[in-house]
Amino acid sequence: MEVTTGARTAAAPPSAPDPHGGGRPATARRTRRRRDDSAVAGLFLAPGLLGFLLFIVVPLAGSALISLYEWPLFGTPVFIGLDNYTKLFGDPAFFTALTNTLVFAFVYTALNLALAIAIALWLGTRMKGAGIWRVVFFLPVITPMVANALVWRLMLSDDGVLNSTLGGVGIEGQSWLSDSRFALAAVIAMSVWQSFGYNVVVITAGLTAIPKEILEASRIDGTNPWQRLRYTILPMISPSLFFASTMTMIGAFQVFVQAQVLTQGGPGESTNTLVLYLYRNGFSFDRLGYASAIAWMLFVVVMLVTAVQFAGQRRWVNYDK
Amino acid sequence: MHVRHLTTTVAAVAGLAVTLTACGGGDDSTSTTGGPLQLYTWVSSQSDREQWESFVSEAQKEDPDLDVTIEGPSFADYWTKVKTRLSGDDTPCLLTTQAARAQELSSLLMPLDDLVEKHDFDLSEVDPSMLEGMTVDDSLRAIPYDAEPVVLFYNADAFTAAGLTPPGPEYSRERFLADATALTTDDHKALAVTPGMFIPAAWATAGDASWLNGDGDLDLTNADFVAQLQDYFDLVAVEGIANPPNAADAADVAQQAFTSGDVDMLIEGPWMYGTFDEAADFTLGVTIVPSPSGRPHGMTAGSGFGIAANCDRPDDAFEAIVALTSTGVQESLAASRGIVPARAEALPAWAEGKAPGAADVVTALLGNATAQVTTPTWNQVETLMTQYSVEGYRGQRSAEEILRTIQDSVGG
Amino acid sequence: MTSEALATRRRAHRRRTTLTWLNTAAVAAVALLFTFPFIWMFLTALKPSNEVFSGSALGSEVRWQNFSDAWTLVPFGRFIANGFFVAIAGAALSVVVAVLSAYAFSRLRFRFRDRLFLLYVATLVLPQEVLVVPLFIMMNEAGYVDTYAALIIPFAFTAFGTFLMRQFFLTIPVEYEEAARIDGASRVRTLWSVLLPQLRAPLSVLGVFSFIGYWNSYLWPLIVINTQDKATVPLGLTMFTGEHGTQWNLVMAASTIAVVPSLFIVVLLQRQLMKGVSMGGFGGR
């Protein structure tokens, strides 16, 4: 997303801000004279800045430090240098969790966006109560994920409602949660269900911002719907798509509850994820140092993926309207 | 937001805060001398809380001055939370531990040997396998209150209907398999299994195998244990007498299958007797976990009370434990909660109201019992076994492969 | 316009109406399928415990008492009260912090302002999970494990709120405030009585999203809360799995109860929610 660090807005009309947090900075400066409000700013910033330092900056640095220790929940930490990292790079479960998380992140993000675009377009067609349906799809986004995952676990279990329904129409059910061929897919399916409604709203906002005339003109040019989608609509909503894909991807790397509740990371390690592995190492296996090393790896991976996304945006994201 | 609304909201939140703090039950006033002792234990449900409260109220009959408060997280979280609880403020003196977790919590638990001697506490009345289970590095870490040898529950009506003889205090693998095969049909299984290490460990113990080597270190890959585990996986994967479990299934799925009559047999702790008897509308039978010879070799699970390593009132705490584990308390809890008491003299209280043979089976198992002694890394073993056993039961991985993976991950 | 043309138009209109309704019916069907998990949650909550895994919609009896059982098996009322308290206090704190910081970043001039703001924004992509181990150790050292403060405070300072509020501040012309300032009002007074009244919608957006974030949060409470006294709703839901297994019908009853507040929020505040999301609120999940 493009960040506006522009200064004080002067004559900007009180219109709705750009939907995607990006937008054009209103840079018209009212005064040229340099003014320094440091003292007042200090007061206003103090609570936020203090919290920011204490609960974000310090822990981030602390995480790096802790990863150099063997750090139990109860007892004295011992400095062990880079041993946690050496161990991590020789730990097959870590690499499995990393691979699972990457697969999850990419497949989940792709499905999530594809579904969100499809539903958002559909809800944009002629129908009654589009707003209500949008809210319906949004619902699981704000219900507790634990509750959502629990009911999915019940539905997907061997003798759950999915298999009995399939059985009713003569299809043999599968062990969705206990067969390593399906377990990760089941976790992805549940996660997409849970969250794509959010992107439906984001993309709808992008769609409504497209001027009607442009679509009309395109239609008059004799394009078919697919061409209009491919060459007009998608480029026009590319900033929304970029924002949605970046944030969805970052969210995807945090996958934890779904794996923990649906499959406990199994069968085998087939649904173990970085955050689940981090949590278990830190708080079940009593290895906070090792968990911090995993946390740093997670941090690095997320940064890399986000950086790649930002680097790639120039090719497909169109900020001109 | 209107200022008025804001004020109302703030007032409401403040009110809520006061209410929550008031009924928080946090007792910050516990001083270092006198005052109530805190017992930190698992409190998953109201039922758990009642159990601990009846421990205390029964113990007060022995020692009217006893003053113990109870707090704790859910059972699943307890083993982690207890470590953070002890590194915090106002730490509790009394802890609960299972024998299976004594190793894992050993750094938290004060050695009790000196206190036992000082207070002339007679250990000879307490189940020896459980005492062994509570011993870490040659020192006793907790006084057990129950000694629960894992048993095989069965549906006696189903056995009779199939023309099978309900087993008693002896049960061989051969006969078990024959019975189970006879009871299994296309849409009915004889047995239910659960992911995790607890039941397989009991099965292996019945087959005289262990997951530890002579030094007490984790040795999952020894040939005997691998063979026993493979046998157990094969009940599902080869013999087909049980359905493979789901990865995230807790013990409840199998329990429910048993009490609802979907399966006829279930290996479980004897503490489930009362629950099963109440839920099932068939005659409940109990026998030993089948062994190759047919003779019992029980794996005892059980819990006890210990003293936190950083407790500054160890004598008070020990006196409390003496009261909490006394025969009277155990008899009362055996009757009301169905725990199998760690003191043999309290066992008749458990036998009361149970099927005639039940106490014989338990006594027979306790006669040749090994406690479920584990390693400090057991939580990881249990977690990994939960993840991997699902594939073992499906025949997708061998016991050898799974145990090798776990052994390598845990690293002793 | 000829009568024939009129008739054609009317026919076209009728066809369009029919199509609209067919389309609506199709969406309704998809939406119904989509909400099936919630329906199943509710149906399971009414079943006897040994029929949880049966495929039929209704059990042999409809047990409303499962709801009261769930309420008493674990102190679920307490979890809900805790959840509301933590979420409301957390949301209030987040909003206050965000408004103050956003004011400084959008209205005041000081050295390193833009660089500092960039640093803030950079942490938007930082997964909170990276921080839980050190945060936990900090809380433990400070004696804050198992307190409401530990649930509320660490996550009230995310850059997200500041970022969002600043975006809104930038849309408000600065003239109004200058007028007030010339009349001698202090900065706090200007912020309170000139700026905030124009920002009611964004404030409620941020408040609602913070509320939901706290209400649904699971990993951090799981780590930092030790007793039932302080547990919030998601944590409470996992407590039905005890030493002796899970009672699924009660878990589903409790889940249904846990979903209700979210349902209310969606119904009552859908406009703010939708607006919030489309303005980039909530940061994706």
- A114 and A51 in a single domain? The answer is no
C2 part of a folded domain: no
Q: What is the pLDDT of residue B25?
A: 42
Q: Is the pLDDT of residue A14 over 50?
A: no
Q: Is the pLDDT of residue C240 over 80?
A: no
From chain C, pick out residues whose CB is under 8 angstroms from the CB of A5: 114, 117-118
Interchain proximity B74–C73, CB inside 8 Å: no
pLDDT digits (tens, 9 = 90+) for C73-82: 788 889 999 9
Interchain proximity A178–B388, CB inside 8 Å: no
A33 part of a folded domain: no
What are A139's two structure tokens? 């619902």
- A71 and A111 in a single domain? The answer is no
- A186 and A75 in a single domain? The answer is no
CATH code, domain carrying C182: 1.10.3720.10
Residue type, B97: T
Assign C214 a pLDDT band (cuts: 50, 70, 90): very high
Q: What is the pLDDT of residue C3?
A: 75
Q: Is the pLDDT of residue C282 over 60?
A: no
Q: Identify whether the C-beta of residue A269 lies closer than 8 Å to the C-beta of residue A280.
A: no
Q: Is the pLDDT of residue C47 over 70?
A: yes
Q: What is the pLDDT of residue C122?
A: 85
What are A166's two structure tokens? 């399939």
Q: What is the pLDDT of residue B377?
A: 87
A302 part of a folded domain: yes
**For chain B, what is the HEC assignment?**
CCHHHHHHHHHHHHHHHHHHHHCCCCCCCCCCCCCCEEEECCCCCHHHHHHHHHHHHHHHHHCCCCCEEEECCCHHHHHHHHHHHHCCCCCCCEEEEEHHHCCCCHHHECCCHHHHHHCCCCHHHECHHHHHHCEECCEECEEECECEECEEEEEHHHHHHCCCCCCCCCCEHHHHHHHHHHHCECCECCEECCCCCHHHHHHHHHCCCCCECCCCCECCCCHHHHHHHHHHHHHHHCCCCEECCCCCCCHHHHHHHHHCCCCCEEEECHHHHHHHHHHCCCCEEEEECCECCCCCCEEEECEEEEEECCCCCHHHHHHHHHHHCCHHHHHHHHHHHCCCECEHHHHHHHHCCCCCCHHHHHHHHHHCEEECCCCCCHHHHHHHHHHHHHHHHCCCCCHHHHHHHHHHHHCC
- A72 and A154 in a single domain? The answer is no
pLDDT digits (tens, 9 = 90+) for C80-107: 999 999 999 999 999 999 999 998 898 8
- Phi, psi angles (nearest 5°) of residue C24: -60, -40
Contacting A with CB below 8 Å, chain B residues are 79-80, 83-84, 86-87, 107-108, 195, 243-249, 253, 377, 379-380, 383, 386-388, 390-391, 394, 396-397, 409
Partner residue facing B45 (CB), from C73, C140, C207: C73
Interchain proximity A279–C137, CB inside 8 Å: no
pLDDT digits (tens, 9 = 90+) for C137-164: 999 888 888 899 999 999 999 888 888 8
Element (H, E) at A69: strand A69-70
Assign B33 a pLDDT band (cuts: 50, 70, 90): low
Q: What is the pLDDT of residue B12?
A: 58
Peptide bond preceding A267: is omega within 30 degrees of 0, i.e. cis?
yes
**Residue partners of A308: CB distance under 8 A and separation at least 6:** none
C68 part of a folded domain: no
pLDDT digits (tens, 9 = 90+) for B223-276: 999 999 999 999 999 999 999 988 777 777 888 889 889 999 999 999 888 888
- Phi, psi angles (nearest 5°) of residue A171: -105, 135
Q: What is the pLDDT of residue A30?
A: 47
Interchain proximity A45–C100, CB inside 8 Å: yes
Interchain proximity B388–A267, CB inside 8 Å: yes
What is the distance between the alpha carbons of residues A120 and C156, in angstroms, rounded to a whole number? 32
Q: Where are the alpha helices (DSSP H) in chain C?
A: 3-34, 36-45, 65-73, 76-107, 113-122, 132-141, 148-152, 159-169, 175-182, 187-190, 196-198, 200-216, 219-224, 233-238, 248-278
Q: Identify whether the C-beta of residue B144 lies closer than 8 Å to the C-beta of residue B128.
A: no
- A89 and A128 in a single domain? The answer is yes
On the CB side of B329, CA atoms within 13 Å amount to: 25
- A52 and A167 in a single domain? The answer is no
Q: State chain B's mean pLDDT as an integer.
A: 87
Q: Taking residues C242-250, what's their average pLDDT?
A: 69
Q: Is C68 part of the contact surface with chain B (CB cutoff 8 Å)?
A: no
pLDDT digits (tens, 9 = 90+) for A178-237: 888 999 999 999 999 999 998 898 888 888 888 888 888 888 888 888 888 888 888 888
Provide the residue ranges of all domains of chain B, joining segments of one domain with +: 35-147+302-351, 149-300+377-410
A1 part of a folded domain: no
Element (H, E) at A288: helix A288-316
Nearest in space to C137 (alpha carbons), one of C218, C229, C224 = C224
What is the distance between the alpha carbons of residues C21 and C34, in angstroms, rounded to a whole number? 19
Q: Is B298 part of the contact surface with chain C (CB cutoff 8 Å)?
A: no
pLDDT digits (tens, 9 = 90+) for A75-93: 889 999 999 999 999 998 9
Spell out a b/e string for C100-128, using b for 16 or more CB atoms within 10 Å of the CB, else e: bbbbbbbbbbbeebeebbeebbebbbbbb
- A68 and A217 in a single domain? The answer is no
Assign A16 a pLDDT band (cuts: 50, 70, 90): very low
> Percentage of residues in chain C with pLDDT exceeding 70?
94
Count of the separate structural domains present in chain A? 2
Assign B10 a pLDDT band (cuts: 50, 70, 90): low
Q: What is the pLDDT of residue B226?
A: 96
Q: Is the pLDDT of residue A313 over 60?
A: yes
Q: What is the pLDDT of residue A24?
A: 41
Assign B24 a pLDDT band (cuts: 50, 70, 90): very low
Of the residues B246, B311, B380, B403, the best mutation for testing chain A's interface (the one with the most A CB atoms within 10 Å of its CB) is: B246
Of the residues B5, B42, B44, the best mutation for testing chain C's interface (the one with the most C CB atoms within 10 Å of its CB) is: B44
Q: Is the pLDDT of residue B169 over 50?
A: yes
Q: Is the pLDDT of residue A1 over 90?
A: no
- A247 and A160 in a single domain? The answer is yes
* Beta carbons within 10 angstroms of residue B331's beta carbon: 20
CA distances from B367 to A43, B169, B210, B269, B370 (A): 74, 11, 18, 16, 10
Q: Is the pLDDT of residue B1 over 80?
A: no
CA distance C3 to chain A (A): 27
What is the distance between the alpha carbons of residues C148 and C170, in angstroms, rounded to a whole number? 34
First to last CA, chain A: 16
pLDDT digits (tens, 9 = 90+) for B288-342: 999 999 999 999 999 999 999 989 999 999 999 999 999 999 999 998 888 899 9
Q: State chain C's mean pLDDT as an integer.
A: 85
Q: What is the pLDDT of residue A26?
A: 42
Q: What is the pLDDT of residue B278?
A: 86
- A150 and A76 in a single domain? The answer is no
Strand partners, B151: B268, B288
Which domain range does residue C216 map to?
73-245+275-283
Q: Identify whether the C-beta of residue C147 lies closer than 8 Å to the C-beta of residue C83.
A: no
Residue type, B25: G
CA distance A250 to chain B (A): 26
Q: Is the pLDDT of residue B53 over 90?
A: yes
Q: What is the pLDDT of residue C281?
A: 45
- Plot region of B148 (φ>0 → left; ψ -120 to 50 → alpha; else → beta): beta
Nearest in space to B293 (alpha carbons), one of B208, B199, B378, B403 = B208
Nearest in space to A97 (alpha carbons), one of B209, B387, C249, B53 = B387
What secondary structure letter does DSSP report for C155? G
More confident residue, C220 or A43: C220
Partner residue facing C130 (CB), from A58, A198, A295: A295
The strands making up B68-71's β-sheet, listed across from edge to edge, are B68-71, B37-40, B94-98, B303-307, B142-144
Residue type, A194: Q
> Chain A: residue nearest B248 by CA?
A263
A6 part of a folded domain: no
CB-neighbour burial class of residue A178 (10 A; exposed 0-12, middle 13-18, buried 19+): buried
Q: Taking residues B200-204, what's their average pLDDT?
A: 95
Question: Which of B165-174, C168-177, C237-246 is the least confident region?
Answer: C237-246
**Residue partners of C263: CB distance under 8 A and separation at least 6:** A139, A143
Of the residues A27, A31, A44, the best mutation for testing chain C's interface (the one with the most C CB atoms within 10 Å of its CB) is: A44
ipTM score: 0.87
Q: Taking residues A250-272, what's their average pLDDT?
A: 90
Which domain range does residue A193 map to?
85-316
CA distance C233 to chain A (A): 8
Q: What is the pLDDT of residue C283?
A: 41
What is the distance between the alpha carbons of residues B388 and B392, in angstroms, rounded to a whole number? 7
Angle in degrees, CA B394, B398, B403, rounded to 5: 115
Q: What is the pLDDT of residue C234?
A: 92
- What kind of architecture, by CATH, is found in domain B35-147+302-351? 3-Layer(aba) Sandwich (3.40)
Among candidate residues A26, A60, A81, the one where a domain is terminated: A81
B149-300+377-410: CATH class: alpha beta
Count of the separate structural domains present in chain C? 1
Question: Which of A144-148, B263-267, C193-197 is the least confident region?
Answer: C193-197
- A250 and A293 in a single domain? The answer is yes
CA distance B71 to chain C (A): 7
Q: Taking residues A123-131, what's their average pLDDT?
A: 86
Residue type, A149: A
Q: Identify whether the C-beta of residue B286 lies closer than 8 Å to the C-beta of residue B355.
A: yes
Nearest in space to C261 (alpha carbons), one of C249, C269, C272 = C269
pLDDT digits (tens, 9 = 90+) for B171-190: 999 999 999 999 999 889 99
* Beta carbons within 10 angstroms of residue B14's beta carbon: 12
C163 part of a folded domain: yes
